[in-house]
A and B are shown apart, each in its own frame.
Chain A
Amino acid sequence: MNFKRFGAPVALVAAAALALTGCAANEAGGGATDEAATGLSGTLVGGGASSQQAAQEAWVASFQTANPDVTIEYDPAGSGAGRDTFIAGGSNFAGSDRAFKDEEIAGDFASCVADTGIIEIPAYISPIAIIFNLEGVDSLNLDAATVAGIFSGKITTWNDPAIASANPDATLPATPITPVHRADDSGTTENFTDYLHAAAPEAWVDEADGVWPLEGGEAAQGTSGVVDTVTGGTGTIGYADASRAGDLGTVSIKVGDEYVEYSAEAAAAIVDASPFAEGRTDGDLAIELDRTSSEAGVYPIVLVSYLIGCSEYQDTEAGALVKAYFSSIISEDGQAISAEAAGTAPISSDLFDKASAAVESIK
């Protein structure tokens, strides 16, 4: 290869690429809150749930634009790793797809002042849609037992009586059903199986788990893998973040006597309809999702991911930063940012009141 001839344009392209990436670094969250300079500075380290990654990136970008002297790092290492790091004091806050259990809270948290407890805020609520690809059918009504039957391989064709009886208006072909599940360990799977086990314990005997518990069925990598596989197959059905459902058919889930289609409001409603876990401190808003709720207009298949921090930090500067960052996340703007970046359901005003009281209590 002749370097004199090719070297110059290549160098030019490389330089341009460098220059352009430099520009883009802090522009992601365009709608940043335009607060007056807060005088905050320092570095905040967090880590945990990979489900929150897209939202955290958007929140961080927006927060850093508003507070140029603050650096926030979020390592999407997984919920378990995030909780362990937080317990060990390696991070200032954690993102986790489940709240800490009682016995874990009883232990020590290295960053927190001893015996002050932690705060947990369900700030990331993401509806999970059941998506399918079946010619001529755009939406289906199913109850939990039927969904469990389909995903466990007991219901094998689309014109099965269990499906047909709930959908008298749809023309269902005799196509075999190919259920698609996640091949990787994921919070989406954990919440989906949790729903199936809670709402249809007879049809779905396995406990909630991030790894798909059954053999058989089609496995695909990540949310995009599931969506692509469902789109590319015939008679396929799968589950994925609702924001990624696109043009695929979606299932309305039977709640009480009605069939509820997923929506941001319905997803936020299930969180409101669920009780807080008992025996927790005031700032600990751990929710016991009531998957079997029969209240009108709730969509029970949601992924709720928590922001976790200390209620009293040993390092007061870190405490102030966490407080500011968390309150920007739960604010209306913060929730709108994550809705745009990750398709989450904004928290309700009820939950916002409780969450902001919890955040205000951080010291």
Chain B
Amino acid sequence: MYGNDFSAEDAPGGGLLGEVEAAEAALREAAERGRRADAPGPDADLAGYFAEVIDADQKIEPRDWMPEAYRKTLIRQIAQHAHSEIIGMQPEGNWISRAPSLKRKAILLAKVQDEAGHGLYLYAAAETLGISRDELVRLLLEGRQKYSSIFNYPTLTWADVGAIGWLVDGAAIVNQVPLCRCSYGPYARAMIRVCKEESFHQRQGYEILHTLAHGTPEQKAMAQDSVDRWWYPSLAMFGPPDGDSTHSAQSMAWKIKRFSNDELRQRFVDMCVQQAEILDLTLPDPDLRWNDERQAYDYTQPDYDELMQVIKGNGPCNRQRMEHRRRAHTEGAWVREAAAAYAAKRAEQKEKVAA
């Protein structure tokens, strides 16, 4: 149907897909092992049991007892993730109508469609925690839940579609791959599915930039300009430095989160350097250099004040993105009402026939 007409070879970050499969294997293996402890009786220490399941690297499932804070943390995180997929359709969707070849148009359309699908998988995962999708959508539209700040930057040129694929999806995957091992079963399973489907997103972005960087001088300049604009916002996607991150320690203890913000950011930088070389594009950081002692690259931190400003709603596109989402929701209301009314009429008719 689509998605078969572009090469899947030479994928940057192919190793990450391997990790997704390892996480899936680990999930199945843990399921095979069965419970470490016997199921507790009515007087059992529920918190202790919960801790044991986590310690044994097994999955918490929707009907299990869980601390209220664990549930709330997960709802917040999964919902923000779902909102990010839905809002994240906009910056790329912006280029569907102008994609420069029919092949690129098809790939981009399929990618934006995938993002809607990922949003829906994630809303469904959040719903297992006892909150409805309508409620989550309402929280987004009222601005009471956030989405990833990266989508508040504009896509000014076609190369930005490439940079989003390579850098933004790349950073997202580095973030998401460890979530495939998250202690909450529905989230872990959703992430495995999302990561597998997303493997093509990063590849298509990389391919766009590679083609541009090896094209005409104008195309190469377009590619470099977009990498210049997207590099630091992508680094900021990993969140504030560990010292300032409010939720990190508890989330790591619960195995919702497996690595710290700074660990993941470092991992992303280390991956990108070589990929940028192959692209023949420059990462806009004069202080980027290999540190033999640390066996990692030293790099310049993103501007966290800017990140905080964007989170507060003062990024270039915050208002535009929210307005767009609200308008689609409002303008679609009559259609949703019609479908509900039709379903109600049909159900009534059925009852009459049955009676």
Q: Do chains A and B interact in one complex?
A: no
Chain B residues in the interface with A (C-beta under 8 A): none
